[in-house]
Amino acid sequence: MTIRVGIIGATGYTALETLRILLRHPGAKVTVATSRGEAGQPIAAVHPILAGRMDLTITEFDPSAVAKHCDVAMCCLPHGASAETVKQLVSLGVRVIDFSADFRLSRCDEYSKHYGIEHPWPERVGKTVYGLPEWFGDQIAGADLVANPGCYPTSAILPLGPLLAEGLILADDIIVDSKSGISGAGRTPKLNFMYCEAAESISAYGVGNHRHQPEMIDLLERFSGKKPELIFTPHLTPMERGILSTIYVHPAKGYTAEDPAPVMELWKKVYGRGPFVTPVDHLPATTHVTFTNQVQLTARRSGKRWVLIAAIDNLIKGASGAAVQNMNVKFGVDPRLGLQ
């Protein structure tokens, strides 16, 4: 079986990464790529790295054409616009993996609060599978719509989820300190992401109000049954790609900060049989996971806390690789296909 894939909004970085992954996927073929601004152009005119590798012309979005030619659509549109498009595709029977934040949260009021608009398809809020196969694989397999996780939340939920679920840490004092490459801001030009503004500098942003914080809290509440008290501070670093998250937590009663071994043992138990999440003894770095769908995790002690460190590639495990992994799970093929 060949999985026919449509890329909706084919001009950004996550779309390009998805296209590159699918080029080496033995069981998938990109049959449709859409864009409002670049319709009629060959895909290589927008992404020159694809010259000689992909013969595909970008088209205007036509939901009927996508339904006719695609088994699954990867929707790489911004929030708000994505939900409207996704609704059309799902109504026509197309299975969709949505890259936006439109279906990640479980409550409409939280979405409106943090994204500043009323949700275009409120009936699906809280009723859409969160696309983290390590935890929700069984639900992903049968879902018509999957909400691909945010990049920062991936780097926090994977280490924290098992610890909260098993009661190894307290939920009332979690600090997530994350550094991201500039590609996390997308391809649209913005002043503070220009070379002369970002090079040789590191800066915090979105302090106390970054949209990925409620996503982390929402998902982690599902693991612990209790809304966690979580502080999230992202930082922009002068590198192309990657996320390093350093997370500070208090051990629960019965555990001691002097010994992080229970953390490593639980991670190995939970993730040991999966292909992409690896507990490691060394301190992870972004270069250890660049251009892969891998996650490296480790734990250390510091004073009365455990320090959890996670490294991912923000464009792959934080976006496009996760989407292809979700696609593989959805169609019952090896989750590593295209991602090895």
Strands 295-302 and 305-312: antiparallel
> What is the rounded CA–CA span in Å between residue 139 and residue 244?
28
Nearest to 74 by CA among 275, 330, 312: 330
> What is the rounded CA–CA span in Å between residue 142 and residue 186?
30
Clarify whether 108 is annotated catalytic. Answer: no
Counting Cα atoms < 13 Å in the Cβ hemisphere of 54 gives 26
Helix (H) / strand (E) containing 179: strand 174-180
8 A C-beta contact, residue 96 and residue 73: yes
Letter string b/e over residues 199-211, b meaning 16 or more CB atoms within 10 A of that residue's CB: eeeeeeeeeeebb
Give 270-289 as a DSSP string: HHTTSSSEEE-SSPP-GGGT
- The CA-atom distances, in angstroms, between 9 and each of 46, 58, 172, 294 are 12, 10, 39, 25
Give residue 101's identity as a one-letter amino acid code: A
Catalytic residue among 70, 108, 151, 196: 151
8 A C-beta contact, residue 83 and residue 102: yes
Structural Rg of the chain based on CA atoms: 20
8 A C-beta contact, residue 166 and residue 255: no
Give 20-53 as a DSSP string: HHHHT-TTEEEEEEE-SSSTTSBHHHH-GGGTTT
8 A C-beta contact, residue 223 and residue 164: yes
**Residue 105 corresponds to which tokens in the numbers above?**
């949260």
What residues contact 123, with CB distance under 8 A and at least 6 apart?
A: none
8 A C-beta contact, residue 136 and residue 104: no
Q: Which residues are catalytic?
A: 151
